[in-house]
């Protein structure tokens, strides 16, 4: 009895000492639960995995167990295991390979519970991972926008979390997760740990993030190291400020570089093994992803095509949905008009969020290391890999959900401070603004098609 009493006493003391973070945690869970329940009931696609994602996932998991030659190279494939085996043994056809990293845990669950049970609850694990990602986005966002007191921390944290979790960029990852889900989750966790000065944990999860998605890793590593080396060369006062907290020294720079290079080196070893073994892949080349490999590449829409993500969906969804074909001409015109307005509204809001993000980076110099590397990497990815970004809008744009939620929240905060409104008045005015944006986000989520 004494042990039980001591346990509850310690629990109560812990909650009192961490009252505000605990309140935020409860609110995060509550908001996510309400949103998921709502989307399950009202969204046309619900919240379950799409059928094509189910198929890809099962193929990837089966290939891990059935084609060990590919597994030992650190890869798996979305193709049927039989066709993969024929290619490996008889060099028949080509296969589409994927890094094995994010499929290891699902493969364990698949082996433990079997196909039917795994597919029935597997998506729940993804939801929980996305919720955790949103939680750390909100907590990192609080540090980025310089909150002054506990009341503000609660108000702005749930705003950032709500914008992140309800955005169409996040919603699509519930239906068919991409590698960006694993990358962003581990990367934002590493940032949070660096903020808390847990350097070893931060380095571990950053390396894991780069192992999940090597291209984002290269871009972030290139940006941070280039700025650091330039700062050292010109001997200004910036020096190591773009490195995470706890690593802003010469020794820290070396440790940071090693932690980045190691997962990238592992990836290139995997690619080298594939080439040595003569495996023919159907993965697109760099020039194809950029969009300048051939005039016959019909998927390249230039910069405007690459920036479709600003609307949360392609405008083509307003003209090609199944529902619109069942309407008369007047109803079709109304549907197209209002659908286009919904996407245009989000384009405008997204541009405002970018303005807010610029203000965050400009007004919080000591915190630039938090958001600037991922912001630059997203910009680079979007500007250079135009064809890939336009075609795979539903995957790559997930990163923008972070920049959007933090940037737009700070813009509203900055605007009210600029107008010198009181805290009470500014919060009251902010409530309908945020609700209006969230309603628009959900409307765009509803427009999401089977392939995003």
Q: Say yes or no to pLDDT of 428 above 80.
A: yes
Instruction: Average the pLDDT over 301-325 and give the result.
Output: 81
Q: Say yes or no to pLDDT of 8 above 70.
A: no
Highest mean pLDDT among 114-123, 138-147, 269-278, 429-438: 429-438
Higher-confidence residue of 199 and 318: namely: 199
Q: Please report the pLDDT score of residue 145 as a whole number.
A: 86
Instruction: Average the pLDDT over 369-392 and give the result.
Output: 88
Band the pLDDT of 323: cuts 50, 70, 90.
low
Q: Please report the pLDDT score of residue 450 as a whole number.
A: 61
Q: Please report the pLDDT score of residue 358 as a whole number.
A: 93
Band the pLDDT of 452: cuts 50, 70, 90.
low
Share of the chain above pLDDT 70, in %: 93
Higher-confidence residue of 240 and 67: namely: 67
Q: Please report the pLDDT score of residue 10 as a whole number.
A: 56
Q: Tens digits of per-residue pLDDT, 212-270?
A: 999 899 999 999 999 888 877 776 666 788 899 888 888 989 999 999 999 999 988 98
Q: Say yes or no to pLDDT of 56 above 80.
A: yes
Q: Please report the pLDDT score of residue 321 as a whole number.
A: 66
Q: Tens digits of per-residue pLDDT, 90-109?
A: 887 788 888 888 888 888 88
Instruction: Average the pLDDT over 310-333 and give the result.
Output: 78
Instruction: Average the pLDDT over 144-158 and give the result.
Output: 85
Highest mean pLDDT among 81-95, 200-214, 230-244, 361-375: 200-214
Residues 378, 430 contacting (CB under 8 angstroms): no
Band the pLDDT of 199: cuts 50, 70, 90.
very high
Q: Please report the pLDDT score of residue 255 as a whole number.
A: 93
Dihedral class, residue 91 (left if φ above 0, else alpha if ψ from -120 to 50, else beta): left
Band the pLDDT of 333: cuts 50, 70, 90.
confident
Instruction: Average the pLDDT over 312-320 and give the result.
Output: 83
Distances, alpha carbon 53 to alpha carbons 257, 296, 366, in Å: 35, 28, 41
Residues 358, 350 contacting (CB under 8 angstroms): no
**Predicted structure pTM score:** 0.90
Give the integer Cα–Cα distance in Å for 276 and 280.
11
Q: Please report the pLDDT score of residue 366 as a whole number.
A: 79
Q: Please report the pLDDT score of residue 187 as a whole number.
A: 96
Instruction: Average the pLDDT over 121-148 and give the result.
Output: 90
When mean pLDDT is compared across 7-16, 206-215, 296-305, 312-321, the lowest value belongs to 7-16
As a whole number, the mean pLDDT across the chain is: 86
Share of the chain above pLDDT 90, in %: 40
Nearest to 383 by CA among 314, 309, 315, 307: 307
Q: Please report the pLDDT score of residue 86 as a whole number.
A: 86
Instruction: Average the pLDDT over 347-367 and give the result.
Output: 91
Q: Say yes or no to pLDDT of 183 above 60.
A: yes
Highest mean pLDDT among 43-57, 106-120, 132-146: 132-146
Band the pLDDT of 169: cuts 50, 70, 90.
very high
Q: Say yes or no to pLDDT of 304 above 90.
A: no
Q: Say yes or no to pLDDT of 14 above 60.
A: no
Q: For residue 21, count CB atoms less than 10 angstroms from its CB and return exposed for 0-12, middle for 13-18, buried for 19 or more.
A: middle
Instruction: Average the pLDDT over 381-404 and give the result.
Output: 86
């Amino acid at each position: 009895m004494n042990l039980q009493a001591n346990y509850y006493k310690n629990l109560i003391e812990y909650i009192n000492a961490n009252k505000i973070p605990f309140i935020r945690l409860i609110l995060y869970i509550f908001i996510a639960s309400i949103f998921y329940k709502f989307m399950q009931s009202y969204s046309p696609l619900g919240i379950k995995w799409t059928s094509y994602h189910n198929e890809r996932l099962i193929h990837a998991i089966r290939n891990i167990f059935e084609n060990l030659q590919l597994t030992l190279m650190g890869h798996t494939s979305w193709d049927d295991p039989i066709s993969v085996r024929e290619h490996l043994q008889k060099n028949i056809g080509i296969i589409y390979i994927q890094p094995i990293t994010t499929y290891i845990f699902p493969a364990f669950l698949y082996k433990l519970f079997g196909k039917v049970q795994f597919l029935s609850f597997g998506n729940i694990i993804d939801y929980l991972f996305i919720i955790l990602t949103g939680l750390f986005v909100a907590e990192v966002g609080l540090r980025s926008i310089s909150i002054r007191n506990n009341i503000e921390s609660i108000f702005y944290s749930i705003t950032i979390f709500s914008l992140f979790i309800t955005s169409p960029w996040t919603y699509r990852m519930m239906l068919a997760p991409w590698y960006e889900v694993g990358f962003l989750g581990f990367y934002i966790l590493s940032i949070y740990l660096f903020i808390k000065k847990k350097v070893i944990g931060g380095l571990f999860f950053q390396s894991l993030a780069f192992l999940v998605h090597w291209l984002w890793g290269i871009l972030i590593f290139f940006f941070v190291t280039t700025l650091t080396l330039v700062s050292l060369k010109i001997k200004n006062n910036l020096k190591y400020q773009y490195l995470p907290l706890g690593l802003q020294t010469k020794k820290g720079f070396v440790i940071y570089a090693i932690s980045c290079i190691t997962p990238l080196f592992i990836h290139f070893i995997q690619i080298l093994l594939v080439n040595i073994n003569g495996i023919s892949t159907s993965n697109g080349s760099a020039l194809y992803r950029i969009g300048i490999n051939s005039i016959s590449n019909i998927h390249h829409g230039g910069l405007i095509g690459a920036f479709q993500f600003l609307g949360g969906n392609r405008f083509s969804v307003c003209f090609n949905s199944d529902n619109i074909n069942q309407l008369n001409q007047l109803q079709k015109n109304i549907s197209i008009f209002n659908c286009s307005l919904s996407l245009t509204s989000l384009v405008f809001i997204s541009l405002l969020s970018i303005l807010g993000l610029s203000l965050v980076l400009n007004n919080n110099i000591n915190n630039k290391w938090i958001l600037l590397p991922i912001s630059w990497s997203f910009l680079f990815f979007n500007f250079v890999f135009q064809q890939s970004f336009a075609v795979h809008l539903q995957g790559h744009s997930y990163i923008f959900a972070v920049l959007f939620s933090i940037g737009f929240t700070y813009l509203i905060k900055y605007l009210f401070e600029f107008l010198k409104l009181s805290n009470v008045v500014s919060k009251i005015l902010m409530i309908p603004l945020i609700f209006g944006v969230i309603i628009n986000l959900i409307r765009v989520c509803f427009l999401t098609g089977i392939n995003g």
